[in-house]
Structure 1
């Protein structure tokens, strides 16, 4: 990687957007550096809120790991709208960084995890079903501020209510979803799509094991380490992913990548947990050829902007 003030004398310059804590990029993202260099592309890591970065000096600006944006989402979205040659585009970022997009996808017929929304100042009525539920903010990254609650347990009911109040007091929208127990056995499937000459194309899939172990108590260490493994996507999963992507505002032709996260629902059919279009881990280290496919996707977008 080069300094972001260095001239590249005609070579395409690409910024991989990250955060200060990952100023040298996430290890998975670093796997694309050599394939891009082999294609004559100069790549630089750039921290999204670093005022010294001249974003107009890049031929393409690629979101990768700006994972500290959740508590500064308005600032983050406003910044995205100032950046030329940004992928995925700023209007997609605005739409995708608030998980209320799930309601839009559900209304369009995409099978999604049933979700109740609680706005700041609103009263949460606990579900009549005393099963397990997940509570998290509508704007979040990773598993921050996310908890799993067994509403048959009186202590968990109190903790769940406290969690909703805590988010509400902070002016945040809360989402409440049933915990899909199949994640404990089948895990979560992430389907990765990368740009090609004819638009987004399926690249690979991975399995993520369960992470939530209990209530969110506002401290670190309540989650299991991520367990990732390669996985083959089923035709049913691919069909749900394609149906999901068909609803993306503005179409998928503008996208560099997409990640569709699915879990088996109560009847075993895949349901959407999240559609990641802003800063998802792409897990390119888990599939043969994926680093090259990502590099080629970036080059495809460079050619589109040439």
Structure 2
């Protein structure tokens, strides 16, 4: 029986509750799944027939160590090169350069003069981060909020982080974000995610922030954008990917392409965990 490591973090040694739904479908396909913490020195990664990154949600605070680990793991999904590219959101610039319609983003590296907008509503966050950590939503015309935005940028710069500034997409408050899930390059299902940021940065959040999730039916326009995004990924299709989009069908924009440790929302689509198990089994058989 082939053995597959399902990678997690020390805070979730038994996996996230959604990810545990994958275990029985894998066993039903003759695969032995083992939860393994990515930075546990006792784990022998060579002993697994495949290693699947799923719940390594603490990587952003130790990205260098995480990538060093990924480069040493054989038969890793998603592959280390994709993880390195995808764990810094400056990849959005690469996608925009390839013609993908991306939420407009301004990059503010440390050591450079920063001139924040003086009007409108903006999101500020580090280019290397996960969930809502170190992220805030600011009304730049409000003196107090603009001052807090400047404080966040200064603090992130002091820590060596590049800050990304994006106009807040008002449509999120009405229609939410739509997340399109792909397994082995094939569209599987979609969900609607409610707005995550409701104001300025208020301090560190937990490992992850609870989200409002509901099943969704992807529109033809969303699937078309998803295909454009997935077609930019070089080499064989990743085992899993999540394409997060915002806006209306007439003006859809990519918010993020998640290839590292995205929630795949198995509970919101019948058979989703089974489809993921099939994709893993197919990688083992290849």
Normalising by the smaller structure, the TM-score range is over 0.9
Partner of 2:175, secondary structure, is coil
Number of equivalenced pairs: 285
The structural deviation recorded for 1:217 is: 2.8
Which residue of 101, 109, 115 maps to 2:91?
Answer: 101
Does 1:32 find its partner at 2:17? Answer: no
Shift of 1:153: 0.3
Match of 2:222 among 237, 248, 272: 237
1:84 alignment partner in structure 2: 74
Runs of 5+ in structure 2 lacking a partner? none
Q: Which residue of 2 aligns with 1:58?
A: 48
Give the whole-Å Cα distance in 1 for the aligned partners of 2:25 and 2:163: 41
Q: Equivalents in 2 of 1:70, 1:218: separation in Å?
A: 16
Gaps in structure 1 of 5+ consecutive residues: 1-10
Q: CA 1:208–1:137 in 2, change beyond 3 Å: closer, same or farther?
A: same
Cα separation, 2, equivalents of 1:172 and 1:98: 10
CA contact (8 A) 1:121 1:169 kept: no
**Equivalent residue for 2:270?**
288
Q: What residue in structure 2 maps to residue 185 of structure 1?
A: 174
In 1: Cα distance, 2:251 partner to 2:221 partner: 8
**8 Å contact from structure 2 (residues 123, 166) kept in 1:** yes
CA shift in 2, pair 1:66/1:233, >3 Å:
same
Whether the 8 Å contact between 1:149 and 1:156 is mirrored in structure 2 is yes
SS at match of 1:233: coil
CA RMSD of aligned residues (A): 1.4
| Aligned structure 1 segments of 4 or more residues deviating by more than 2 angstroms | none
Task: Tell me, in whole angstroms, the C-alpha distance in 1 between the residues paired with 2:204 and 2:272.
Answer: 35
Map of 1:48 onto structure 2: 38
Conserved in 1, the CA contact under 8 Å of 2:134 and 2:204?
A: no
Distance in 2 of aligned mates of 1:88 and 1:98? 15
Is 1:226 aligned to residue 211 of structure 2? yes
| Pairing partner for 1:258 from 238, 241, 249 | 241
Q: What secondary structure is seen at the aligned counterpart in 2 of 1:32?
A: helix
Offset from partner CA, 1:56-102 (integer Å, 9 cap, x none): 00000000000001011011111100000000000000000000000
Aligned partners of 2:133 and 2:204 also within 8 Å: no
CA distance in 2: counterparts of 1:191 and 1:254, whole angstroms: 15
Q: TM-score, structure 1 length as denominator? A: 0.91
Q: 1:140 aligns with which of 117, 120, 129?
A: 129
CA distance in 1, matches of 2:71, 2:28: 31
Distance, in Å, in 1 between the alignment partners of 2:178 and 2:80 is: 26
Distance 2:227 2:114 in 1: 34
Q: Is the contact made by 2:108 and 2:164 (CA closer than 8 Å) also made in structure 1?
A: yes
Distance, in Å, in 2 between the alignment partners of 1:131 and 1:224 is 25
Task: Within 5 Å, give how 1:119-158 maps onto structure 2.
Answer: 119-128=109-118, 130-158=119-147
- 1:170 aligns to 2:170 (yes or no): no
TM-score w.r.t. length of structure 2:
0.97
- SS where residue 150 of structure 2 aligns? helix
Q: Output the CA distance in 1 between the equivalents of 2:227 and 2:263.
A: 19
SS in 2 for 1:230: strand
Partner of 1:273: 255
- Does the C-alpha gap of structure 1 residues 246 and 53 become closer, same or farther in structure 2, counting only changes over 3 Å? same
